[in-house]
Amino acid sequence: MSRAGETDSSFFQPKRVGVALIATLSVLALWGTLPGGVTRAEAAKKPVSLERMFNSRYCEIFGVSAIPTGGFSVQVFNSVGLGYCPQDKWDALDFSAIAISEGWMAAAPNGPRHWLMDTITGAKPTNPKNFGGIPMRQVATIETSTLQPQPFTEFTIKRRNTWVFNKGRTVHILTDPAGTRYVMQAYTKTVDPTLNPKTLRNLGSNPTAAIPEGWTFISRTLRRPLAVKAAGEATILRDGVRSVYQKLG
């Protein structure tokens, strides 16, 4: 039996690839209607805007299928806007059973994680599901040739939304040797349990983050709001402690 625990896939551990073992808005994932008589199906078609997201907890499930031409398609489901992913329910998830039930080649946990932006706008989650009492929706799709991307390696995720970091918010920026910048969108305690919004500014000197030679990490306070848009696709990467960053510009 594959259990969740405090885990974070990378996307997946190699030994699990190809086997089943890797294998408020909450009403959107339940039966019934929203206030004003709007049905769940109707609401799911409308863009979602969520505020007060900073440091809010969420978890994700990756559903993996093989692509006939080679590689993998990963459906990304998360609990954003639907609750805070109770730890007892997260720990009880059986990913073997989820993969079989959904007809996936594999299913794997990602998180729990914590957001760093203040607002999410323009998102259009679809395909609401309930996994072991945790409501989730599909928010993105990843097509990849590997289920274990290396840290500091770019990959593309298909989604439409905008992250907004408010004026006065501290943001964390990675810059590669060519000058390309990436802003941290979320962090996890699964590798380093000491991480929190205050300690993130020390990642540049944290050996576990494994920031490569030639890269820089800085934290700065915004003088004006920062909007980071994904108009169908976004380029993201992870550091050594599995914080996730989105490419700027």
Render pLDDT for 183-213 as a digit per residue (tens, 0 to 9). 999 999 999 999 999 999 999 999 999 999 9
Domain annotation covers residue 168? yes
Confidence of residue 148 (pLDDT cuts 50, 70, 90): confident
Domain annotation covers residue 1? no
Give the rounded distance of the alpha carbon of 81 from its chain centre: 13
Look at residue 162 in the predicted model and tell me its pLDDT: 97
Domain annotation covers residue 209? yes
Domain annotation covers residue 145? yes
Look at residue 69 in the predicted model and tell me its pLDDT: 87
The total number of structural domains that make up the chain: 1
State the Cα–Cα distance between residues 17 and 136, nearest whole angstrom. 23
Residue 88 in contact with residue 106, Cβ under 8 Å? no
Q: Two tokens at 203?
A: 């990642």
Residue 185 in contact with residue 245, Cβ under 8 Å? yes
Confidence of residue 149 (pLDDT cuts 50, 70, 90): confident
State the Cα–Cα distance between residues 81 and 75, nearest whole angstrom. 18
Confidence of residue 28 (pLDDT cuts 50, 70, 90): very low
Indicate whether 20 pLDDT > 50. no
Domain annotation covers residue 112? yes
Instruction: Answer whether the bond into residue 112 is a cis peptide, omega within 30°.
Output: yes
Instruction: Answer whether the bond into residue 177 is a cis peptide, omega within 30°.
Output: no
Confidence of residue 34 (pLDDT cuts 50, 70, 90): very low
State the Cα–Cα distance between residues 63 and 100, nearest whole angstrom. 11
Indicate whether 129 pLDDT > 80. yes
Residue 167's contacts (CB-CB under 8 Å, 6 or more residues apart) are 222, 223, 224, 225
Indicate whether 110 pLDDT > 90. yes
Domain annotation covers residue 2? no
Which range of residues forms the domain containing residue 90?
Answer: 7-247
The average pLDDT across 221-243 equals 97
Q: Is the full-model pTM beyond 0.95?
A: no
